[in-house]
Structure 1
């Protein structure tokens, strides 16, 4: 079986309701050095925490889109974390955030269709956007598309700024009613601990049930 066939077969072998999470991560040149190192540590912790949970490891499906260089890149496609290998991200190039979010929405829609075809329930998808700068491509169309999904309760967006150069005004446009957060002191470890616990809590709830997320003050600047 190829990778796509394995992904499809997993939906029939494992009927656990899914928690789809797409990480859209800035890996542009400005993330070189400590930022990309800390991001990689956080991503590795995120996967380990979910794999260590007896329910979440069958429920959580993670996709990673990174944007650095001239184009966005699909690093990981959706499938359960127990079948995934943690990637090592490298920083270089520009910040094509618009194309990255477009790609993320496309694969989210495709995966939702696959859930429906297989009769697998799923929670509202999460889109986690992290950036330390300003997009170098067009974002107007994808902002409209994202906002429509959010307003129709088809998507939850977590926009997160990294460092002082992140454009929080642009990030805010992707998530009406949910202000963007700013990462405190490059503490990706605390951020991904919070995110993994939120995914774990969601995996143990009922589809459609309201989830109270953990306090984000461990990783979020509070004086924006």
Structure 2
């Protein structure tokens, strides 16, 4: 928990932005994978570098630099608090973020329980001060399956998330890295929380560092503006989601106009009523997505597919979506 004098020197005119990382550092991270530049690197090294990218990007935003308080819990063989909540400018920016090595199994449930308890202690401390703060952001980043996906400890983790979010006081982002990350398990672990306050994403393992880039974008967006839902944060103008797996994402009525979603996997996503006008959807996958009343006017659909076939305006219209052509027909 943050020490009583830890926040004495912060700018009291700036609302605190609490950020909790729950990072999987299990033994599987020792393996080497091929990255986009053709090199072979250990996954754990990509995670360490990702944390440096997060720190650098936050440091470049004046408001985020002043407002973010960060905590880090890792899980690999055991659960370890690498850092309690402290101002990022006085820790990771002033010196450097923690580094970690790969070890052991994947006690994800225990890490969730411990991390949320740490966050609640920090919030309790803030309630006793005159410091304003925005709703916290929790980032769970993992590339595997947890040691327990059923039983008492699993239910306790679900309960910690469910009770922690029942008062709409936190945002939870679960990021699966690579094909070994079970998206169904991630969706299940957050199932007790309200849909508006959780988002589950999947990235190719070679893009592990992008998880931290996306986190930094969301944190910067959160520093500047209040948002009502996790979806609003994730799809705000400041966040780059190029190539992200948005399988089963709930994006009904979302404003995605002008967004770069090229190469995104939108399989089974609910896009009903979404504004995709002017968006870059090139090479995106819309298999089984709900496109009813979604606005695709002026969107780039080059190379986009549905059920393995290239998608066109007629496919969009047949799925109930809005295009330039259907709009003109209505006039």
| TM class by smaller structure | 0.7 to 0.9
What is aligned with 1:222?
Answer: 265
Per the alignment, do residues 222 and 208 of structure 1 end up closer, same or farther by CA in structure 2, a change over 3 Å counting?
closer
**Is the counterpart of residue 44 in structure 1 residue 59 in structure 2?**
no
Per the alignment, do residues 179 and 156 of structure 1 end up closer, same or farther by CA in structure 2, a change over 3 Å counting?
closer
Greater RCO structure (CA 8 Å; 6+ sep): 1
1:208 & 1:172 partners in 2: Cα distance?
20
Q: List runs of 5+ in structure 1 lacking aligned partners.
A: none
1:174-209 Cα shifts (integer Å, max 9, x gaps): 334245211124313322222212111211125879
2:215 & 2:159 partners in 1: Cα distance?
26
TM-score calculated relative to the size of structure 2: 0.61
**Is the counterpart of residue 188 in structure 1 residue 204 in structure 2?**
no
What is aligned with 2:136?
Answer: 125
CA contact (8 A) 1:21 1:126 kept: yes
Pair member with larger Rg: 2
What is aligned with 1:200?
Answer: 220
Q: List runs of 5+ in structure 2 lacking aligned partners.
A: 32-41, 246-263, 268-331
**Is the counterpart of residue 35 in structure 1 residue 43 in structure 2?**
yes
2:112 & 2:79 partners in 1: Cα distance?
9
RMSD: 2.3
The size of the alignment, in residue pairs, is 220
TM-score calculated relative to the size of structure 1: 0.88
1:107: Cα distance to partner? 0.9
Partner SS, residue 187 of structure 1: helix
Q: From 49, 64, 76, give the equivalent of 1:68.
A: 76
2:67 & 2:135 partners in 1: Cα distance?
13
**Is the counterpart of residue 150 in structure 1 residue 148 in structure 2?**
no
Structure (1/2) with the larger helix percentage: 1
CA contact (8 A) 2:25 2:76 kept: yes
Per the alignment, do residues 201 and 67 of structure 1 end up closer, same or farther by CA in structure 2, a change over 3 Å counting?
same
CA contact (8 A) 1:41 1:188 kept: no
1:42-89 Cα shifts (integer Å, max 9, x gaps): 1101011112221111111111100012x2000111111111131111
Residues 135-146 of structure 1: pairs in structure 2 closer than 5 A: 135-137=146-148, 138-146=153-161
What is aligned with 1:159?
Answer: 174
1:120: Cα distance to partner? 1.1
1:208 & 1:111 partners in 2: Cα distance?
22
1:132: Cα distance to partner? 1.5
1:15: Cα distance to partner? 4.6
Q: From 20, 23, 31, give the equivalent of 2:21.
A: 23
Partner SS, residue 89 of structure 2: helix
Per the alignment, do residues 186 and 219 of structure 1 end up closer, same or farther by CA in structure 2, a change over 3 Å counting?
farther
